Amino acid sequence: MGVSTRARTLALMVVEDSDRLRLALGEGLEATGSVHVLHRCRSGEEAISLALKATPDVVLMDVGLAGEMNGIAAAVALRRELPRLPIVLYSIQDDDAYYRDFRRSGILSHYAYVRKTNYLLPTMILPLLKDAIAGRSFIDPEIEARVQEVRERDAQSPMALLEPNERAVAELLAAGLSNEQIAKRLGFRDKRTVARTNGQIYAAWGLNDTATDEKIARTRAAIVVREGRLISWDARGKPWTFTASGERAPFQPSSA
C-alpha cells in the first residue's frame, strides 16, 4: 500500500541551507499528500551528487545556498547533467548578482523563480512544482521587474564591454595606479602590456575618438569607472551620457 501511494506522489529534492526551513518545507509539502521528499541537502554541490544517484521529479531550491554555488548556478549544473530537470527557485535576497546570473543562465522552461515571501505556504508551492514538471515557466512579477532593471542597467555598463583582464586594469587605473604599479599588481611581465590594454579600454568606451592626449583619455576612463556608466565627450570637451530610453543627455555626476 505504501509503495503504491508513493508511486503516485512527486519525488522532491529540497535544497535549502537553513536546517529548520529545509525540514519545514519538506514536512509541509509531504503533508499535502502529493509529494514525498527524496533528498534534502544544503548546497548545490550536494544536490548534483544526490540527483545523479537518484533523480527527483522536481527540485525546490533556494538561490542563496551554502557552498560555492548559488541556486542558479546549481540549477544550470543540474540541467547540464539532467536536461530540463524541473526546478523551482525561490529567494528572499534582492541581489543584482542573482538576477544577472538568472538572465545569463538561459533557463527557458520547466522552472519557476519566485520571491520567498510571496510563496510561503505548501499549497502555494505545490502548483509551481506541478507546473514546472508540465514544462511551464513562471517568474514572480517582482523578480521579473528586477531582472529587467538589471538588464537595462547592464546595457549601459561600461564594464560589460570589457574582457576580464581589461576590467581588472580599468579598476586599478581608476584607483590611481600607474602602469608600472598595475603591471606589478596583476603580475604582467611587461608594463607595456598595461599600455596596450589601456588602448583597448579607450577604444571600447569611445574615448580615443575625442581624446588625443593619453592623460586625458586616462582621466576620462577613471571617471567612467567611478560613475559606472558610459560617458562621451564632444569635440569641445563637454561630457554626455544616455538615459534609460537611449537619449543623449548632459552628464551629471552621481554625487551632484
End-to-end Cα distance, the chain = 71
- Which CATH number do you get for residue 188? 1.10.10.10
Taking the C-alpha atoms of residue 204 and residue 158, their distance in angstroms, rounded to an integer, is: 8
pLDDT, tens only, 138-162: 999 999 999 988 887 777 789 888 8
Same domain, 180 and 139: no
Listed residues 154, 183, 207: the one ending a domain = 154
Same domain, 105 and 201: no
Q: Please tell me which residue, 247 or 170, carries the higher pLDDT value.
A: 170
- Quote the pLDDT of residue 85: 97
Listed residues 135, 154, 173: the one ending a domain = 154
DSSP structural state of residue 242: E
The amino acid at residue 83 is: P
Helix (H) or strand (E) holding 98: helix 96-105
- Quote the pLDDT of residue 152: 77
Same domain, 56 and 18: yes
With 90 as the cut, is the pLDDT of residue 62 above it? yes
Q: For residue 226, what are the contacts with CB-CB under 8 A and spacing of at least 6?
A: 174
**pTM as predicted:** 0.67
Taking the C-alpha atoms of residue 29 and residue 103, their distance in angstroms, rounded to an integer, is: 29
Q: Give the range of the structural domain holding residue 104, as residue numbers without chain letter.
A: 2-154
Q: Please tell me which residue, 107 or 208, carries the higher pLDDT value.
A: 107
- Quote the pLDDT of residue 2: 38
Q: Please tell me which residue, 197 or 100, carries the higher pLDDT value.
A: 197
Listed residues 100, 128, 154: the one ending a domain = 154
In DSSP notation, 210-236 reads: T--SHHHHHHHHHHHHHHTS--EE-TT
Give the mean pLDDT of 116-125.
92
For residue 255, being part of any structural domain is answered with no
Taking the C-alpha atoms of residue 52 and residue 36, their distance in angstroms, rounded to an integer, is: 18
Helix (H) or strand (E) holding 39: strand 35-41
